[in-house]
Protein backbone atom coordinates (compact mmCIF):
# COMPACT_ATOMS: atom_id res chain seq x y z
CA UNK A 1 0.00 0.00 0.00
CA UNK A 2 1.48 3.32 -1.07
CA UNK A 3 0.95 6.37 1.19
CA UNK A 4 -2.60 7.53 0.49
CA UNK A 5 -4.65 10.53 1.60
CA UNK A 6 -8.45 10.52 1.40
CA UNK A 7 -9.93 14.01 1.17
CA UNK A 8 -13.50 14.01 2.45
CA UNK A 9 -14.89 12.06 5.43
CA UNK A 10 -18.41 11.59 4.11
CA UNK A 11 -20.02 8.18 3.59
CA UNK A 12 -17.77 7.17 0.71
CA UNK A 13 -14.51 8.59 2.04
CA UNK A 14 -15.06 7.10 5.50
CA UNK A 15 -16.01 3.71 4.01
CA UNK A 16 -12.81 3.63 1.95
CA UNK A 17 -10.75 4.58 4.99
CA UNK A 18 -12.29 1.86 7.15
CA UNK A 19 -12.09 -0.72 4.38
CA UNK A 20 -8.40 -0.09 3.80
CA UNK A 21 -7.53 -0.02 7.54
CA UNK A 22 -3.87 0.69 6.88
CA UNK A 23 -1.45 2.93 8.72
CA UNK A 24 -0.35 4.43 5.40
CA UNK A 25 -3.83 5.82 4.77
CA UNK A 26 -4.66 9.33 6.02
CA UNK A 27 -8.19 10.76 6.26
CA UNK A 28 -8.76 14.50 5.94
CA UNK A 29 -11.82 16.70 6.34
CA UNK A 30 -12.27 20.31 7.43
CA UNK A 31 -15.27 19.29 9.51
CA UNK A 32 -13.77 18.33 12.87
CA UNK A 33 -16.92 16.57 14.08
CA UNK A 34 -17.29 14.51 10.92
CA UNK A 35 -13.70 13.30 10.94
CA UNK A 36 -13.84 12.54 14.67
CA UNK A 37 -16.74 10.17 14.04
CA UNK A 38 -14.88 8.47 11.20
CA UNK A 39 -11.56 7.80 12.93
CA UNK A 40 -9.32 8.50 15.91
CA UNK A 41 -6.04 7.91 14.04
CA UNK A 42 -4.28 9.23 10.93
CA UNK A 43 -6.59 12.16 10.56
CA UNK A 44 -6.25 15.87 9.91
CA UNK A 45 -8.29 18.96 9.15
CA UNK A 46 -5.34 20.44 7.25
CA UNK A 47 -5.42 19.37 3.58
CA UNK A 48 -1.83 20.34 2.77
CA UNK A 49 -0.59 18.49 5.86
CA UNK A 50 -2.59 15.40 4.96
CA UNK A 51 -1.38 15.25 1.37
CA UNK A 52 2.24 16.39 1.75
CA UNK A 53 3.70 12.88 2.06
CA UNK A 54 1.01 11.04 0.13
CA UNK A 55 1.75 9.45 -3.23
CA UNK A 56 -1.94 8.84 -3.91
CA UNK A 57 -4.79 11.26 -3.20
CA UNK A 58 -8.42 10.13 -3.23
CA UNK A 59 -10.79 13.04 -3.83
CA UNK A 60 -14.04 12.20 -2.04
CA UNK A 61 -15.61 15.64 -1.76
CA UNK A 62 -18.81 16.82 -3.42
CA UNK A 63 -18.26 18.00 -7.02
CA UNK A 64 -19.41 21.52 -6.14
CA UNK A 65 -16.58 21.73 -3.59
CA UNK A 66 -13.87 20.71 -6.06
CA UNK A 67 -12.90 24.18 -7.26
CA UNK A 68 -12.58 25.50 -3.70
CA UNK A 69 -10.48 22.45 -2.79
CA UNK A 70 -8.08 23.02 -5.67
CA UNK A 71 -7.77 26.72 -4.80
CA UNK A 72 -6.63 25.72 -1.31
CA UNK A 73 -3.94 23.29 -2.54
CA UNK A 74 -2.85 25.35 -5.59
CA UNK A 75 -0.41 23.30 -7.73
CA UNK A 76 0.84 20.96 -4.98
CA UNK A 77 -0.85 17.87 -6.47
CA UNK A 78 0.69 17.96 -9.93
CA UNK A 79 3.04 15.05 -9.13
CA UNK A 80 0.44 12.96 -7.26
CA UNK A 81 -1.57 9.91 -8.35
CA UNK A 82 -5.15 11.15 -8.22
CA UNK A 83 -8.23 8.97 -7.71
CA UNK A 84 -11.52 10.86 -7.95
CA UNK A 85 -14.85 9.43 -6.81
CA UNK A 86 -16.71 12.66 -7.59
CA UNK A 87 -19.75 12.18 -9.81
CA UNK A 88 -19.72 14.01 -13.12
CA UNK A 89 -16.11 15.27 -13.11
CA UNK A 90 -14.28 14.11 -16.22
CA UNK A 91 -10.69 12.94 -16.55
CA UNK A 92 -9.85 16.01 -18.63
CA UNK A 93 -11.29 18.34 -16.00
CA UNK A 94 -9.43 16.51 -13.23
CA UNK A 95 -6.16 16.74 -15.18
CA UNK A 96 -6.66 20.43 -15.89
CA UNK A 97 -7.51 21.39 -12.31
CA UNK A 98 -5.02 19.18 -10.44
CA UNK A 99 -2.17 19.52 -12.94
CA UNK A 100 -1.56 15.78 -12.73
CA UNK A 101 -1.66 13.49 -15.80
CA UNK A 102 -1.84 10.42 -13.53
CA UNK A 103 -5.57 10.07 -12.81
CA UNK A 104 -8.26 7.46 -12.14
CA UNK A 105 -11.93 8.41 -12.25
CA UNK A 106 -14.15 6.04 -10.28
CA UNK A 107 -17.80 5.63 -9.40
CA UNK A 108 -18.46 3.48 -6.30
CA UNK A 109 -21.97 2.86 -5.03
CA UNK A 110 -23.51 2.78 -1.56
CA UNK A 111 -22.60 -0.89 -1.11
CA UNK A 112 -19.12 0.21 0.00
CA UNK A 113 -20.65 0.97 3.41
CA UNK A 114 -21.00 -2.80 3.92
CA UNK A 115 -17.98 -3.94 1.95
CA UNK A 116 -20.32 -4.90 -0.90
CA UNK A 117 -19.66 -2.00 -3.23
CA UNK A 118 -19.60 -2.03 -7.01
CA UNK A 119 -17.12 0.40 -8.51
CA UNK A 120 -16.57 1.27 -12.15
CA UNK A 121 -13.36 3.06 -13.04
CA UNK A 122 -11.35 4.41 -15.95
CA UNK A 123 -7.90 5.93 -16.19
CA UNK A 124 -5.72 8.26 -18.21
CA UNK A 125 -3.04 6.59 -20.36
CA UNK A 126 -0.38 8.00 -18.02
CA UNK A 127 -1.40 5.83 -15.05
CA UNK A 128 1.39 3.25 -14.61
CA UNK A 129 0.75 -0.42 -13.87
CA UNK A 130 1.64 -0.12 -10.18
CA UNK A 131 -0.88 2.69 -9.70
CA UNK A 132 -3.60 0.77 -11.54
CA UNK A 133 -2.91 -2.12 -9.17
CA UNK A 134 -3.16 0.23 -6.20
CA UNK A 135 -6.54 1.48 -7.45
CA UNK A 136 -7.79 -2.10 -7.78
CA UNK A 137 -6.65 -2.87 -4.22
CA UNK A 138 -8.52 0.17 -2.91
CA UNK A 139 -11.77 -0.81 -4.61
CA UNK A 140 -11.34 -4.47 -3.58
CA UNK A 141 -11.22 -3.37 0.06
CA UNK A 142 -14.86 -2.26 -0.18
CA UNK A 143 -16.32 -4.69 -2.73
CA UNK A 144 -15.72 -5.42 -6.40
CA UNK A 145 -14.82 -3.31 -9.41
CA UNK A 146 -14.71 -3.31 -13.18
CA UNK A 147 -12.32 -1.37 -15.38
CA UNK A 148 -14.06 0.64 -18.11
CA UNK A 149 -11.89 0.95 -21.22
CA UNK A 150 -13.80 4.02 -22.42
CA UNK A 151 -14.67 6.96 -20.18
CA UNK A 152 -18.01 7.35 -21.97
CA UNK A 153 -19.13 4.08 -20.35
CA UNK A 154 -18.96 5.60 -16.87
CA UNK A 155 -22.19 7.52 -17.50
CA UNK A 156 -24.12 4.29 -18.11
CA UNK A 157 -22.35 2.69 -15.15
CA UNK A 158 -23.37 5.61 -12.94
CA UNK A 159 -27.03 5.35 -13.97
CA UNK A 160 -27.10 1.57 -13.48
CA UNK A 161 -24.71 0.72 -10.65
CA UNK A 162 -23.93 4.06 -9.03
CA UNK A 163 -27.61 4.81 -8.50
CA UNK A 164 -28.56 1.13 -8.39
CA UNK A 165 -29.07 0.78 -4.63
CA UNK A 166 -31.83 3.40 -4.84
CA UNK A 167 -33.74 1.19 -7.28
CA UNK A 168 -33.51 -1.75 -4.87
CA UNK A 169 -34.77 0.47 -2.04
CA UNK A 170 -37.59 1.71 -4.28
CA UNK A 171 -38.61 -1.89 -5.02
CA UNK A 172 -38.57 -2.73 -1.31
CA UNK A 173 -40.68 0.36 -0.65
CA UNK A 174 -43.21 -0.68 -3.30
CA UNK A 175 -43.39 -4.22 -1.92
CA UNK A 176 -43.99 -2.92 1.58
CA UNK A 177 -46.66 -0.44 0.44
CA UNK A 178 -48.44 -3.09 -1.62
CA UNK A 179 -48.38 -5.59 1.25
CA UNK A 180 -49.93 -3.02 3.58
CA UNK A 181 -52.65 -2.27 1.03
CA UNK A 182 -53.41 -6.00 0.91
CA UNK A 183 -53.97 -6.15 4.66
CA UNK A 184 -50.60 -6.95 6.26
CA UNK A 185 -49.29 -4.79 9.09
CA UNK A 186 -46.53 -2.24 8.59
CA UNK A 187 -44.00 -4.34 10.54
CA UNK A 188 -44.96 -7.51 8.69
CA UNK A 189 -44.74 -5.76 5.34
CA UNK A 190 -41.33 -4.24 6.11
CA UNK A 191 -39.93 -7.63 7.19
CA UNK A 192 -41.27 -9.33 4.06
CA UNK A 193 -39.73 -6.67 1.79
CA UNK A 194 -36.33 -6.89 3.49
CA UNK A 195 -36.22 -10.67 3.35
CA UNK A 196 -37.30 -10.81 -0.29
CA UNK A 197 -34.47 -8.48 -1.30
CA UNK A 198 -31.93 -10.24 0.92
CA UNK A 199 -32.84 -13.73 -0.33
CA UNK A 200 -32.80 -12.68 -3.99
CA UNK A 201 -29.43 -10.99 -3.56
CA UNK A 202 -27.92 -14.03 -1.82
CA UNK A 203 -29.12 -16.41 -4.54
CA UNK A 204 -27.84 -14.20 -7.33
CA UNK A 205 -24.51 -13.66 -5.58
CA UNK A 206 -23.74 -17.37 -5.39
CA UNK A 207 -23.63 -17.34 -9.20
CA UNK A 208 -25.25 -20.71 -9.85
CA UNK A 209 -28.05 -19.19 -11.94
CA UNK A 210 -28.63 -15.94 -13.79
CA UNK A 211 -31.40 -13.55 -12.81
CA UNK A 212 -33.47 -14.83 -15.76
CA UNK A 213 -32.96 -18.46 -14.73
CA UNK A 214 -34.01 -17.77 -11.13
CA UNK A 215 -37.04 -15.83 -12.34
CA UNK A 216 -38.06 -18.72 -14.58
CA UNK A 217 -37.45 -21.24 -11.78
CA UNK A 218 -40.05 -19.60 -9.52
CA UNK A 219 -42.59 -18.82 -12.25
CA UNK A 220 -44.97 -21.74 -12.66
CA UNK A 221 -47.20 -21.74 -15.72
CA UNK A 222 -50.64 -20.46 -14.75
CA UNK A 223 -49.47 -19.67 -11.22
CA UNK A 224 -49.51 -16.62 -8.98
CA UNK A 225 -46.03 -15.39 -9.99
CA UNK A 226 -46.88 -15.53 -13.67
CA UNK A 227 -50.08 -13.56 -13.08
CA UNK A 228 -48.14 -10.80 -11.32
CA UNK A 229 -45.35 -10.65 -13.90
CA UNK A 230 -47.80 -10.53 -16.79
CA UNK A 231 -49.46 -7.44 -15.33
CA UNK A 232 -46.08 -5.75 -15.00
CA UNK A 233 -45.22 -6.67 -18.59
CA UNK A 234 -48.56 -5.44 -19.93
CA UNK A 235 -48.09 -2.16 -18.04
CA UNK A 236 -44.78 -1.61 -19.84
CA UNK A 237 -42.59 -1.77 -16.77
CA UNK A 238 -39.61 -3.20 -18.74
CA UNK A 239 -39.72 -0.41 -21.30
CA UNK A 240 -40.19 2.24 -18.62
CA UNK A 241 -37.18 0.97 -16.68
CA UNK A 242 -35.01 1.02 -19.80
CA UNK A 243 -36.16 4.55 -20.57
CA UNK A 244 -35.41 5.61 -17.01
CA UNK A 245 -31.85 4.26 -17.13
CA UNK A 246 -31.25 5.97 -20.46
CA UNK A 247 -32.46 9.21 -18.88
CA UNK A 248 -30.06 8.69 -15.98
CA UNK A 249 -27.18 8.09 -18.39
CA UNK A 250 -27.95 11.34 -20.21
CA UNK A 251 -28.12 13.20 -16.90
CA UNK A 252 -24.73 11.83 -15.88
CA UNK A 253 -23.32 12.95 -19.21
CA UNK A 254 -24.74 16.44 -18.80
CA UNK A 255 -23.27 16.70 -15.29
CA UNK A 256 -19.83 15.97 -16.76
CA UNK A 257 -20.37 18.82 -19.23
CA UNK A 258 -21.51 21.18 -16.48
CA UNK A 259 -18.41 20.36 -14.41
CA UNK A 260 -16.05 21.16 -17.26
Prediction pTM value: 0.91
Q: Reading across the β-sheet that carries 25-28, which strands appear in turn? A: 43-44, 25-28, 4-7, 56-59, 81-84, 103-107, 117-123, 143-147
- pLDDT single digits (tens) 159-211: 999 999 999 999 999 999 999 999 999 999 999 999 999 999 999 999 999 99
Provide the pLDDT for residue 160: 97
Closest CA to 176 of 197, 205, 204, 153: 197
What is the distance of C-alpha 31 from the center of its chain? 22
> Percent of the chain having pLDDT more than 70?
98
Structural domains of the chain in order of their starting residue, each with its CATH number? 4-151 (3.40.50.720), 164-256 (1.10.3730.10)
pLDDT band at 43 (very low <50, low <70, confident <90, very high): confident
> Percent of the chain having pLDDT more than 90?
83
- pLDDT single digits (tens) 156-172: 999 999 999 999 999 99
Amino acid sequence: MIPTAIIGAGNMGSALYKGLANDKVFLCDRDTEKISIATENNRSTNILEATENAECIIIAVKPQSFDELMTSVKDSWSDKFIISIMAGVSLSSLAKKTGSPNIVRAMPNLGVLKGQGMTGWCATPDVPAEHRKHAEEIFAAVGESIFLDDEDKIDAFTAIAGSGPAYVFALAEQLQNAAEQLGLSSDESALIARKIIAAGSALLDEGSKSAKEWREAVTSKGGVTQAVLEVLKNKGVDAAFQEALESGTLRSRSLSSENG
